[in-house]
Amino acid sequence: MKYNKNVINTNFLYINKYKKLLKYKKNKNIIYILYKKYILILKKLIYLNII
């Protein structure tokens, strides 16, 4: 369980980095698509960790 929580925490750190990129980058569309894909992967990871 500790390992899983650490993985999820690092994932949230990456999401915060993506949010910062959204503010500063001009290619918002590309980053936003990557961000959405990343969230989908994250949700799957959390779902698998719960089960």
How far does the chain reach from its first CA to its final CA, in angstroms?
A: 11
Looking at the chain, how many residues does it have? Answer: 51
Name residue 35's amino acid: Y
CA nearest 5: which of 39, 13, 18, 19?
13
Q: What is the pTM of this model?
A: 0.37
Residue written as token pair 């959204």 = 22
Domains of the chain by residue range: 2-50
Tens-binned pLDDT, residue by residue, of the chain (51 aa): 455 666 666 667 777 777 776 666 666 677 777 788 888 888 888 787 765
CA nearest 31: which of 49, 14, 44, 45?
14
